Amino acid sequence: MYLKNTWYVACTPDEIADKPSGRQICGERIAFYRGKDNKVCAVEDFCPHRGAALSLGYVEDGNLVCGYHGLVMGCDGKPVAMPMQRVGGFPCVKRYAVVERNNFIWVWPGDADKADESLVPSFEWENNPEWAYGGGLFHVKCDYRLIIDNLMDLTHETYVHTDSIGQEEIDESPVNTAVDGDSVITSRYMEGIQPPPFWQFALKQNGADPTADVERWQESRFSPPSHVLIDVGVAHVGKGGVNAPQQHKARSIIIDFITPETETTTWYFWGMARNFNPQDKALTGNIQKEHKRIFLQDVDVLEAQQRNLEANPGRRLLMLNIDSGGVQARRIIERLVKQEQEENAASAA
Amino acid sequence: MYLKNTWYVACTPDEIADKPSGRQICGERIAFYRGKDNKVCAVEDFCPHRGAALSLGYVEDGNLVCGYHGLVMGCDGKPVAMPMQRVGGFPCVKRYAVVERNNFIWVWPGDADKADESLVPSFEWENNPEWAYGGGLFHVKCDYRLIIDNLMDLTHETYVHTDSIGQEEIDESPVNTAVDGDSVITSRYMEGIQPPPFWQFALKQNGADPTADVERWQESRFSPPSHVLIDVGVAHVGKGGVNAPQQHKARSIIIDFITPETETTTWYFWGMARNFNPQDKALTGNIQKEHKRIFLQDVDVLEAQQRNLEANPGRRLLMLNIDSGGVQARRIIERLVKQEQEENAASAA
Amino acid sequence: MYLKNTWYVACTPDEIADKPSGRQICGERIAFYRGKDNKVCAVEDFCPHRGAALSLGYVEDGNLVCGYHGLVMGCDGKPVAMPMQRVGGFPCVKRYAVVERNNFIWVWPGDADKADESLVPSFEWENNPEWAYGGGLFHVKCDYRLIIDNLMDLTHETYVHTDSIGQEEIDESPVNTAVDGDSVITSRYMEGIQPPPFWQFALKQNGADPTADVERWQESRFSPPSHVLIDVGVAHVGKGGVNAPQQHKARSIIIDFITPETETTTWYFWGMARNFNPQDKALTGNIQKEHKRIFLQDVDVLEAQQRNLEANPGRRLLMLNIDSGGVQARRIIERLVKQEQEENAASAA
């Protein structure tokens, strides 16, 4: 169950730097490539001639050339040319709306005519010299909603990530869940605690005292179809929390763009934008490496959970207060999917 | 087809020495761990909170803590605690009866309330300074009954294990099959023969003349649900066979604990207890290594046989006198499974 | 969809030089081995005793001995002997007609009684000192007919093999398709062109001027069930084309014996017989290596195409003039399969 008339992160620019790239998104097999004026294009990864994968071809004059028999595909899904052939009567393939924005390439896997570029989300940390970004991509063998659940409840940090960002105070603090239109926010505040290893390190990087007691915050925000951004940080006690001056805090935003591949597999784009010492590229690399190690622990847990759920279909799970963020996010997805199906039915009628 | 209200070997102590271990047995996904007083516990490998695999968690104060959100599971399958939660109304998971005995951990994958510890088998060679044991574990992609067939008819030694324990005299000697209650015994005796390489080596280890003619015996005993123990050895001619004095014989027991994972995959615990030179640990290691090499030859044969049988469903096989041990063992399994199903139906009524 | 009462290449002699070999062909699991007088035999790879794979056994006195319990299988599929057993009443297994011819072993996977050795094809380049042969075998995860399509339309050389045998003039030249009984011939002639890298090299090997303009020919011939032989070469302009004297041309025959394993997987025996410098064995090795590299590019394309077609069942493909060779070959296969089915139905009635 996923929305299709919406924007998902499809890939990063480096993945199509040298040649086209094929990726399945929401069940659609899509070829991504740089077309005319270097603009990213996306068409169905299926040559209408004999079914070859267009993504195995190459780009010439801004068009995607099928690597099998040379059919030239336009970025609108209409064949442009083919050696010794008239392509006027050739069937078209699907084209997909696609937008490049701040080092991500976004795709609208549903009806391209309904795509609205103004709906591509934008963020405070993008193209902002006060922030630095590092991230990566995992292929995870689970329903994408299990990853949303995971991120909307950070209680698991205490257990899964004991050596880095976990600390007992997390699950001793109550979690608040709020629904704001189609968004869900879960938040947790800890006061007068000692920062865990990662945040001590971050304070130090920011020139702040790593040994003083802090307030720690975690705010996870789900936005449809499946983005979770988590504002996290620590500030010296009584200095204003997230709004404290730089020398008294360390703050990051965890970025999670979660793109369904199929019903049970997911492309998970993860990263961290940090608001401290943004010029230090070596630091970006180190944090990314550590971040990757931490997130891989989650991948093992998520894939085992998926296998368990598949082996126990229909078994009821608990919905506790800590699960409320994930539960509310699923409700919003379900409502929007139903709405999309009704719109599709209305268009078809 | 397998019995569930019975004891199977689940794992060996080293597999749960440092952390819990998850294993599927007779279709049941089970988490094994050392609980209070170091006692082995086994519960369903499914956290009732969100379906995480409990075996990925850790043990604290004798309880298994879910590695995802910290639910604390008791060894009786009842949740004990969870941070910030009241677990009184939480659903339970299955618990499994489990017994540690002589370097094996046994599990009763069916109804724990029916488990009877007195039924865990015990053996002459266990905790006996006159015997030494070495073994291992294979995961084999075949129906567990094909392994029983294999072991109840040692004719195959001549063909599969030509360079170690095979010899022509095996298939030139008649095999006897006897049914003794729920057990089946197949036996073969060869008289006045030269021992094959392995047994020459064993006689030498025992200080016995390896060049003299011997009597050789092989007695395979099947006991439900799927254990096969094989008494094997050679003794100088006329010295009393299996009862000959030590300086005239060499004797071992081949141990085969065969645990169904699913209908078509099996955990196969194999080993050899030897009654010669038991103090020599290097010898134990060498025999184990050679034993593993020999048994891996069987694994190839068994997995190919399984593929052949799946590709030819319903095709009738021969049931010769040499197959009689396996055939009788299957009949006993079928009868006991039917009986178990009737008991389950009666309990449900 | 494939013919069964016909000859396919099963394997090469080196594959059964030391021991039997099991291979699935047209859905039949077959054990191949050298029997009496070194003659190749083929029987169902299924021991009638317990379903073991006969191909894991060994050959003794010209018979295949099952490696599990020693059943001795005759090359006619009738059990010959088994230790301590009377095999008179044992069921037989299928035997397959098999012929060794010029470094290929051919099998007739259908009814052995209908096999006609005179139908095994023979070729100009076989056992001919003026020709040298080098080739190999790929296992390709696609319908065998996709490989036929590939070879009956060499337009793809321009795109898939740009650095070796591809050149723009190929897809600028019209392709001719002719049906000759059950054969299909597609051909293309280019005149007054510069030879591409491989053919420059070949001319040089033949002592011919590699820089002169040439005529280039490509003639693909499909013959049932699935053989494609391609006569390819270049000759200096005006010297007689394929019939030009040796010092003015370079010629090869690309050999493609395409054997269905299942409906969606294929054993692809590829090779090249060359009519230039046949004594140079190092050259044979070098061409074979390069040939393998080129054909592996096709394998990637074919397997992606197969996945695309499976994901889009029933989607109509184009049938252009360049596809005509493959389309005609498929029609012949369909007609012959229908005829075979009618014959089988008539035999059964």
Length of chain C: 349
Neighbour-count burial for A28-52, b at 16+ CB within 10 Å, e otherwise: bbbbbbbbeeeebbbbbbbbbbbbb
CB < 8 Å to C318, chain A: 48-50, 90-91
Average pLDDT of span A298-319 = 94
Quick one: closest CA in A to C326, which residue? A50
| Number of cross-chain residue pairs from A and B with Cβ atoms under 8 Å apart | 72
Average pLDDT of span A253-274 = 96
CA–CA dist B50, A326 (Å, integer): 11
Q: How confident is the model at residue A157 (pLDDT cuts 50, 70, 90)?
A: low
CB < 8 Å to A45, chain C: 308
Tell me whether residues C49 and B149 touch, CB distance under 8 A.
Answer: no
The CATH architecture of the domain made up of C8-119 is 3-layer Sandwich (2.102)
Does B132-337 carry CATH code 3.90.380.10? Answer: yes
Tell me whether residues A49 and C317 touch, CB distance under 8 A.
Answer: yes
On the question of pLDDT at A137 being above 80, the answer is yes
CB < 8 Å to B49, chain A: 317-318, 320, 323
Tell me whether residues B301 and C56 touch, CB distance under 8 A.
Answer: yes
Average pLDDT of span B34-49 = 96
On the question of pLDDT at C95 being above 80, the answer is yes
DSSP of B162-217, one letter per residue? TTTT--HHHHHSPPEEEEETTEEEEEEEEEEEPPPHHHHHHHHHTTS-SSS-EEEE
CA–CA dist B109, B4 (Å, integer): 5
Residue B161: the pLDDT is 57
Query: Which chains have at least 3 CB atom pairs separated by less than 8 Å from chain A?
Result: B, C
Percent of chain B with pLDDT over 70: 95
On the question of pLDDT at B155 being above 90, the answer is no
On the question of pLDDT at B270 being above 90, the answer is yes
Q: Is A152 exposed, middle or buried (0-12, 13-18, 19+ CB in 10 A)?
A: buried
How many C-beta atoms surround the C-beta of residue C168 within 10 A? 13
**Lowest mean pLDDT: which of A63-72, A97-106, C188-197?**
C188-197
On the question of pLDDT at C162 being above 60, the answer is no
Nearest chain C Cα distance for residue B154, angstroms: 9
Q: Are strands B28-34 and C214-223 parallel, antiparallel or unpaired?
A: unpaired
**End-to-end alpha-carbon separation of chain A, Å?**
23
Tell me whether residues A171 and B83 touch, CB distance under 8 A.
Answer: yes
Domain definitions of chain C by residue range: 8-119, 132-337
CB < 8 Å to C51, chain B: 305, 308-309, 312, 315, 317
3-state secondary structure of B109: coil
* Eight-state DSSP code of residue A92: P
Q: Determine the longest span between alpha carbons in chain A, in angstroms.
A: 76
Quick one: closest CA in B to C59, which residue? B159
Which is more confident, B43 or C246?
B43
Tell me whether residues B301 and C53 touch, CB distance under 8 A.
Answer: yes
- Rg of chain C, C-alpha, whole Å: 22
Q: Are B265 and B139 in contact (CB under 8 A)?
A: yes
CA–CA dist C291, C186 (Å, integer): 21
Tell me whether residues B70 and A317 touch, CB distance under 8 A.
Answer: no
**Lowest mean pLDDT: which of A22-26, A203-207, C335-339, C345-349?**
C345-349
On the question of pLDDT at C161 being above 90, the answer is no
3-state secondary structure of A116: coil
CB < 8 Å to A311, chain B: 29
Residue C291: the pLDDT is 85
Residue B55: the pLDDT is 97
Q: How confident is the model at residue A287 (pLDDT cuts 50, 70, 90)?
A: confident
CB < 8 Å to C56, chain B: 300-301, 304
* Eight-state DSSP code of residue B74: P
Tell me whether residues B155 and C48 touch, CB distance under 8 A.
Answer: no
**Lowest mean pLDDT: which of B101-105, B116-120, C56-60, C203-207?**
C203-207
On the question of pLDDT at A234 being above 90, the answer is yes
Residue B42: the pLDDT is 98
What residues of C are in the B interface, CB distance below 8 Å?
29, 45-46, 48-53, 56-57, 65-70, 82-85, 90-91
Which residues are CB-contacts of B256 (< 8 A; sequence separation ≥ 6)? Answer: B147, B151, B227, B228, B229, B230, B268, B269, B270
Which residues are CB-contacts of C232 (< 8 A; sequence separation ≥ 6)? Answer: C216, C217, C218, C219, C251, C252, C253, C254
Of A305, A316, A318, the CB nearest to B53: A305
Tell me whether residues A156 and B45 touch, CB distance under 8 A.
Answer: no
Nearest chain C Cα distance for residue A238, angstroms: 59
What does the H/E/C string look like for chain C?
CCCCCCCEEEECHHHHCCCCEEEEECCEEEEEEECHHHCEEEEECCCCCCCCCHHHCEEECCEEECCCCCCEECCCCCEEEECCECCCCCCCCCECEEEEECCEEEEECCCHHHCCHHHCCCCCCCCCCCCEEEEEEEEECCCHHHHHHHHHCHHHHHHHCCCCCCCHHHHHCCCEEEEECCEEEEEEEEEEECCCHHHHHHHHHCCCCCCCCEEEEEEEEEECCCEEEEEEEEEECCCCHHHCCHHHEEEEEEEEEEEEEECCEEEEEEEEEECCCCCCHHHHHHHHHHHHHHHHHHHHHHHHHHHHHHHCCCCCCCCCHHHHHHHHHHHHHHHHHHHHHHHHHHHHC
Which is more confident, C349 or B187?
B187
CB < 8 Å to A312, chain B: 46, 51
The pair of three-digit structure tokens given for residue A180, joined into one six-digit string: 């704001």
Mean pLDDT, chain C, rounded, equals 92
CA–CA dist C267, B76 (Å, integer): 55
On the question of pLDDT at B184 being above 70, the answer is yes
Q: How confident is the model at residue C24 (pLDDT cuts 50, 70, 90)?
A: very high
Average pLDDT of span C72-91 = 94
What residues of C are in the A interface, CB distance below 8 Å?
149, 153, 155-156, 158-160, 171-172, 174, 300-301, 304-305, 307-309, 311-312, 315-318, 320-323
Average pLDDT of span C198-209 = 88
CA–CA dist C226, C147 (Å, integer): 9
Give C212-251 pLDDT, tens digit per residue.
Answer: 999 999 999 999 999 999 999 999 999 999 999 988 999 9
On the question of pLDDT at B349 being above 80, the answer is no
CB < 8 Å to A68, chain C: 156, 159-160, 301, 305
Model pTM above 0.90: no
Nearest chain B Cα distance for residue C146, angstroms: 26
CB < 8 Å to A158, chain B: 70, 83
Tell me whether residues C51 and B153 touch, CB distance under 8 A.
Answer: no
Of A52, A57, A90, the CB nearest to C305: A52
CA–CA dist B310, B264 (Å, integer): 10
CB < 8 Å to B155, chain C: 69-70, 83
The pair of three-digit structure tokens given for residue A337, joined into one six-digit string: 């999917």
Residue B169: the pLDDT is 67
Q: What are phi and psi of C147, to 5 degrees?
A: -75, -40
Please state whether B70 falls in left (phi above 0), alpha (psi between -120 and 50) or beta: left
On the question of pLDDT at A349 being above 80, the answer is no
On the question of pLDDT at A159 being above 60, the answer is no
Q: What are phi and psi of B81, to 5 degrees?
A: -170, 165
